[in-house]
Amino acid sequence: MGISIGMVGMGWFGISFVRLFRDHPLIDRIALCDLDKDRLDWASKEFQITETYNSLEDICKSDIQALVIITQPWLHAPQAVQAMQAGKHVYSAVPVVYLPDGQQMLDWCDKVVQTSEKTGMHYMMGETSHYRAPSMYCRRRAAEGAFGHIALAEGNYMHDIDLPASSLREVAQHRWGLQWDISKSGDIPMYYPTHSIGGFLSAIKAHVTEVSCMGQQVPGDDWHRPDTIFANPFGNETAMFRLSNGAVARICEYRKIGHLGHEGFSLYGTEGSFVEGPAGCHWVTKKDSTPLTVEQMRDPLPPEVDEAYRKTAKSQADKDIYGGHGGSHAYLANEFVQAVAADRPPAVNAWQAVRYLVPGIIAHESAKRGGELLKVPDWGDCPC
């Protein structure tokens, strides 16, 4: 007997996951939920799913086992807590929560961890970087000991606010749900660090203990201003992290940058290194450099899952089989389903999820203090 999944949030990002959950061979019941009736009706017809709910409250009253919450970032943590308290396992889109106030974000991180532990419900954050091909490859090489001792990690999330392929101004406009109002502009780059640190942290199984961060105020920046709700003048933030294994990490969260956009990392060890750059991904040692393809780096999906996804994909292109964000979507869906079916914590459980987010919250506080070295709180390992 399969499991039951309810998907909450039928916006443009939510609908990109419906097929992957609907067609997973371990799922025998799927429902959709959205406050917007027209959007819900469209998704129900498009994906041929008849069970629908008009609110989170309604779907929480159902006997569905798990909920996939892909709503607005400031709603993630409150809705995840509500669902777990209702006896549902939870998959949440990234990040755990996103708010203008760092202390409130820390409080919600604590609530998510405590609720998962007290209720026994599994929580998973859908961090795409965890299931990009380079992360999978580095986890395998690290498990083999191929890196030796980790010396340095470098992570980047270069995403200019006016990047033509993905304008953050347009994203903000959709998220507010209102006609564009420049007074609501702004963001804090380090409050969303999960894409730049999730990959290498997953490989080396360490966490951040201390951080020093410098912020850059770019002349003429009309987005990052002290008079917005985020009260942040820094368009670019650069952090140096000390890790629990003795290594150092440097990450760049840049929103004012002349770049096509880049999300990725490099990882340097005493015996071998993984390097990602304009020429692609390479495994580098003291003797040679070997180029790597996505197919070489990517882990295989379980055969029955791979077969199911290929049957309903629009084409056999990777983007159609595996979904977006570097082909991570299929792996995210599979991990959550497998975790619920086996009643085990997902890889990016509540404890790991906050390790991907909290360092950035403290990094921004350091930037406000001119780069002061600050301790990063940690909730420990998943007690499972």
Q: What local confidence, expressed as pLDDT, does residue 179 receive?
A: 42
Does residue 343 lie in a domain region?
Answer: no
Q: Are residues 187 and 246 part of one domain?
A: yes
Q: Are residues 21 and 44 part of one domain?
A: yes
Does residue 260 lie in a domain region?
Answer: yes
Q: What local confidence, expressed as pLDDT, does residue 307 receive?
A: 97
Q: Are residues 197 and 106 part of one domain?
A: no
CATH number at residue 294: 3.30.360.10
Does residue 54 lie in a domain region?
Answer: yes
Q: Are the CB atoms for 204 and 153 separated by under 8 Å?
A: yes
Sequence-ordered list of residues with C-beta below 8 angstroms from that of 350, at least 6 positions apart, any chain: 112, 113, 116, 117, 123, 125, 379, 382
Q: Are residues 260 and 361 part of one domain?
A: yes
* Tens digit of each residue's pLDDT (9 = 90 or more) over 128-146: 999 999 999 999 999 999 9
Q: Are residues 248 and 193 part of one domain?
A: yes
Number of compact structural domains in the chain = 2
Q: Are the CB atoms for 308 and 25 separated by under 8 Å?
A: yes
* Tens digit of each residue's pLDDT (9 = 90 or more) over 31-84: 999 999 999 999 999 999 999 999 999 999 999 999 999 999 999 999 999 999
Structure confidence at residue 158 as a pLDDT band (50, 70, 90): very high
Q: Are the CB atoms for 5 and 337 separated by under 8 Å?
A: yes
Question: Where does a domain end: 107, 128, 149?
Answer: 128
pTM of the model: 0.96
Beta-carbon count within 10 A of 46 CB: 13
The proportion of the chain whose per-residue pLDDT surpasses 70, expressed as a percent, equals 97
CATH number at residue 108: 3.40.50.720
Q: Are residues 117 and 50 part of one domain?
A: yes
Question: Where does a domain end: 84, 99, 128?
Answer: 128
Among the listed ranges 38-52, 99-113, 164-178, which one has the minimum average pLDDT value?
Answer: 164-178
* Tens digit of each residue's pLDDT (9 = 90 or more) over 339-379: 999 999 999 999 999 999 999 999 999 999 999 999 999 99
Question: Where does a domain end: 101, 128, 155?
Answer: 128
Q: Are residues 86 and 120 part of one domain?
A: yes
Name the 3-class secondary structure at 349. Answer: coil
Q: What local confidence, expressed as pLDDT, does residue 51 receive?
A: 98
Structure confidence at residue 181 as a pLDDT band (50, 70, 90): low
Whether residue 180 is predicted with pLDDT greater than 50 in this model: the reply is: no
Strand order in the sheet with 27-33: 52-53, 27-33, 3-8, 66-69, 89-92, 123-125
Q: Are residues 116 and 133 part of one domain?
A: no
Does residue 335 lie in a domain region?
Answer: no
Distance of CA 97 to the CA centre of its chain: 11
* Tens digit of each residue's pLDDT (9 = 90 or more) over 212-246: 999 999 999 999 999 888 999 999 999 999 999 99
Whether residue 89 is predicted with pLDDT greater than 80 in this model: the reply is: yes
Q: What local confidence, expressed as pLDDT, does residue 178 receive?
A: 47
Structural domain that includes position 46 = 3-128
Does residue 381 lie in a domain region?
Answer: no
Does residue 310 lie in a domain region?
Answer: no
Does residue 337 lie in a domain region?
Answer: no
Q: Are residues 183 and 162 part of one domain?
A: yes
Please report, for residues 101, 107, 224, 362, the alpha-carbon distance to residue 256 in angstroms, rounded to integers and kept in the order given. 22, 29, 9, 21
Q: What local confidence, expressed as pLDDT, does residue 77 receive?
A: 98
Q: What local confidence, expressed as pLDDT, does residue 184 receive?
A: 66
Q: Are residues 354 and 239 part of one domain?
A: yes
Integer distance in angstroms from the first to the last C-alpha of the chain?
Answer: 25
The proportion of the chain whose per-residue pLDDT surpasses 90, expressed as a percent, equals 89
Q: Are residues 186 and 169 part of one domain?
A: yes
Does residue 332 lie in a domain region?
Answer: no
* Tens digit of each residue's pLDDT (9 = 90 or more) over 284-326: 999 999 999 999 999 999 999 999 999 999 999 888 899 999 9
CA distance 286 to 10: 50
Of 344, 339, 342, 320, residue with least CA distance to 20: 320
Q: Are residues 167 and 286 part of one domain?
A: yes
The torsion angle over the Cα atoms of residues 353, 357, 362 and 363, rounded to 10 degrees, is 140
